[in-house]
Amino acid sequence: MKALKQRIMQDGKCLEGGILKVDSFINHQMDPALMMEMAKELAERFNGIAIDKVITVEASGIAPAIMVAYLLNVPVVFAKKKVPSTMEGILKSEVFSFTKSRSYTICLSDKFLRKGERCLFIDDFLANGNAAAGILDLTGQAGAEIVGMGFLIEKGFQKGGSMLRSKGIKVESLAIIESLDNCEIRIKD
């Protein structure tokens, strides 16, 4: 998606260790007009697929997910990273974050993920695919189905994309980063 790629080249920053910082427009400060354009593009790419629900993980998945769900006119549920004291029927999965070098638990109430529901997973980043794998685990526990996964930015040099596509999942990413070597951002055309 051209507008996103241009914005990454203009405002993205590459830090040591293969970190792409997009906190001025995606995951700390957010540009809502760009977010809506990205949501439209994702909704378009999953056009024609029956979708009952959008699913995401807090916190930075929520903004793109609510907009995609708004456009698709379906509910959206976000997995939480802390188990709320008032949650019933908890589905849990363990996720390892390479960026943060630690594991965390994601959880969802089984009231909001039902057997047979066709879910579209939306998140800001796809890197090693650990959050996505956690969501596959949760939907599997519930007997729900992931019919697609949409990401704003995919780190093409990490293994998440190939791992998910090799499972036959339709994965769409609006910008695929080819390399962050030497702190230079290279995006796939």
Q: Does 62 bind its own copies (CB under 8 A)?
A: yes
Smallest distance from its own copies to CB 167, Å? 26
> Can you say how many angstroms the Cα of residue 132 is from the centroid of all Cα atoms in its chain?
7
Which residue number, 26 or 133, has a Cβ lying nearer to its own copies? 26
Residue closer to its own copies, measured from CB, 28 or 188: 28
| CA distances in angstroms from 186 to 22, 179, 182, listed in the order given | 14, 5, 10
120 has which bridge partners?
A: 54, 148
Contact string (CB under 8 A) for its own copies, positions 99-128, x = contact: -x-------xx-xx----------------
The radius of gyration of the chain from alpha carbons, rounded to an integer in Å, stands at 16
3-state secondary structure of 27: coil
With CB under 8 A as the rule, give the number of residues binding its own copies.
Answer: 38
Cα–Cα nearest to 150, from 36, 26, 45, 3: 45
Greatest pairwise CA separation for the chain in angstroms? 48
Binding segment toward its own copies, per CB under 8 A, in 2-10, 75-83, 143-151, 161-169: 75-83
Q: How far is the CB of 107 from its own copies (least distance, A)?
A: 10
- Answer yes or no whether residue 70 interacts with its own copies by CB under 8 A: yes
The closest alpha carbon to 78, from 102, 113, 47, 43, belongs to 113
Q: Which residues bind its own copies (CB under 8 A)?
A: 15, 19, 21, 23-25, 28-33, 35-36, 58-59, 62-63, 66-67, 69-70, 73-78, 80, 84-87, 100, 108-109, 111-112
